Amino acid sequence: MLYADSTEALAGCREAAATFHRLARDNVTAYVVTRTQATAQAGGGQTDADGRHLPVFQDGAAQFERLYGVEGPTALLIPPDGYLSARLSPLTTEGTVSALSDALGRLFRL
């Protein structure tokens, strides 16, 4: 799950989603949650940086933001068991790739 709080953050989520897919060898599904309607509409029908479909959902009531305690662009790695495996924030390309690689390695035993 990727959280974008602005149109600019949505661009970062597109990059992060592509990175997730590459690192996990397409064994992940990425979704973006946004706070504002404008950001969600900008992302509607969005693709990640590698051209894969990237669903974008609006959290107008800020429930996702509140329940997961996100502030700013954030990535949450949630495996099928539903437990939070990793929280990556701020969502920066350099730090995210390293942290995500470590988290996916633990999760998939890569």
Q: Is the pLDDT of residue 57 over 60?
A: yes
Q: Which CATH number fits domain 2-104: 3.30.230.10, 3.30.530.20, 3.40.50.150, 3.40.30.10?
A: 3.40.30.10
Rounded to two decimals, what is the model's pTM? 0.82
pLDDT tens-digit map of 69-101: 898 889 898 888 888 888 888 776 666 677 777
> So where are the chain's domains?
2-104
Residue 43 has pLDDT above 60, yes or no: no
Which residue's structure tokens are 């990793």? 86
Q: Provide the 8-state DSSP code for 53.
A: B
24 three-state secondary structure: coil
- Residue 110: is its pLDDT beyond 60? no
Cα angle 23, 25, 29; round to 5: 90
Return the pLDDT at 104.
76
Grade residue 35 by pLDDT with cuts at 50, 70 and 90. Answer: confident
Q: What is the pLDDT of residue 31?
A: 92
Q: What would the two tokens of residue 61 be? A: 């009531």
- Residue 21 main-chain phi, psi, to 5 deg: -60, -45
